[in-house]
Amino acid sequence: MSADDRDAPSTAEAVVLVGGRGVRLRPLTLSAPKPMLPTAGVPFLRHLLSRIRAAGIEHVVLGTSYKAEVFAEHFGDGSDLGLRLEYVVEPEPLDTAGAIRNVADRLSADDVLVFNGDILSGVDLTALLATHRDTAADVTLHLVKVADPRRFGCVPTDADGRVTAFLEKTENPPVDQINAGCYVFRREVINRIPAGRPVSVERETFPELLASGARVQGYVDTSYWLDMGTPEAFVRASADLVLGAAPTNALPGERGEALVLGGASVAASARVSGGSSIGADCVVDDGAHVTGSVLFDGVRVAKDAVIENSVIGAGATIGAGAVLRGAIVGDEAHIGAGCELLDGIRVWPGVNLPEHGVRFSADC
């Protein structure tokens, strides 16, 4: 090996944490982990992996737990994405830093990008990594500016961009920048995280690094950012991907008002808009309106039904004239003709709601 080769920075690797149970998205996550839910036509994780590959990273380790087998069944070795994927299962919930430590033996690069698997972001990964290297940081955090930081802990930085504290949620946050759930770690920092127990990055790892004098760098921007943990955010994320407001290299079609997958049938008098995704083999009948919604594969929407800002699980049926606004419908459920499902109602898989104009506004 030449001196130049030794001095050159190693190619970065990536870790994606996908072990969560997705409780806030039930009943959708009863059948699949949150990162595997169809989002703008493909599992959400495919959008993230496509961006990682576009940044020049080829080796990705997935830290899995809940329904771990689903990831490998879908992505295999990652070769169709130009990646080399590995999978590591958590024996028990280990929190964020513990999950990162759990995959340490699969890593060899000096720099490791770490992603929470339920964040949709437009951060420039190349610039993030360059900032980490240029500042010789131990850890670099993507920090995003938000209009209302009160719902989040905030992360102040000094004039050089160094993180100075990690502050809890407060009604009067001193800064508008928050932890965006994407980091660059020096691998030796990962190796120092305690193994075999739950460890939080924000409550333990990062504060200890600050106390020790380590360089914790902030990379602050105003790029697109969305935590997809709630049904409302999930619907918005899918629509933003279809409309082109959020970045991806994995959209299975052209950006526009709607994405209609192969085998789906949309009647000429139906209207599909607002970034809606219509899954494979769906049927949308005459006069139906689907706006800003996600239909998983095999959904049938009868004539004159209205679906707004909702998610309809695979194989579900929506009766004629039904109205769904902000609803979550599980796989294989049946919504009778004339029903109204409003204001965040959730219908569990296989449930059969009666016809004749019944109105529902509480969980079923």
Please check whether residue 204 is in contact with residue 84, taking contact to mean a CB–CB distance below 8 angstroms: no
Alpha-carbon gap, residue 157 to 89, rounded angstroms: 35
Give me the sign of the Cα torsion angle 237, 82, 36, 182.
negative
Which residues on adjacent β-strands are paired with residue 341? 324, 360
pLDDT for the residue numbered 361: 56
Please check whether residue 227 is in contact with residue 115, taking contact to mean a CB–CB distance below 8 angstroms: no
Interacting residues of 166 by C-beta distance below 8 A, sequence separation 6+: 153, 155, 179, 202, 206, 207, 210
* Residue pointed to by tokens 């607002």: 274
Tokens of 12: 């970065």
DSSP alpha helices (H): ranges in 156-230? 187-191, 206-212
**Residue 327 has what DSSP assignment?**
-
* Residue pointed to by tokens 């294989």: 332
Alpha-carbon gap, residue 15 to 107, rounded angstroms: 9
Alpha-carbon gap, residue 33 to 357, rounded angstroms: 34
Question: Angle CA(123)–CA(50)–CA(128) in degrees, nearest 5?
Answer: 25
Please check whether residue 75 is in contact with residue 35, taking contact to mean a CB–CB distance below 8 angstroms: no
Which CATH number among 3.40.640.10, 3.30.70.270, 2.160.10.10, 3.30.465.10 corresponds to the domain 257-360? 2.160.10.10
pLDDT for the residue numbered 3: 35
Q: Would you say the pTM of this structure is higher than 0.75?
A: yes
Instruction: Classify domain 3-231 by CATH number.
Output: 3.90.550.10
Question: Which residues of the chain does CATH 3.90.550.10 include?
Answer: 3-231
pLDDT for the residue numbered 4: 35
The continuous run of DSSP H or E covering 100 comes out as: helix 95-102
Question: Which residues of the chain does CATH 2.160.10.10 include?
Answer: 257-360
Mean pLDDT by 10 residues, the chain (364 residues): 36 90 83 90 94 94 88 92 93 89 94 93 94 96 88 88 86 85 94 92 91 94 88 93 92 90 94 95 96 96 96 95 94 92 90 73 50
pLDDT for the residue numbered 7: 35
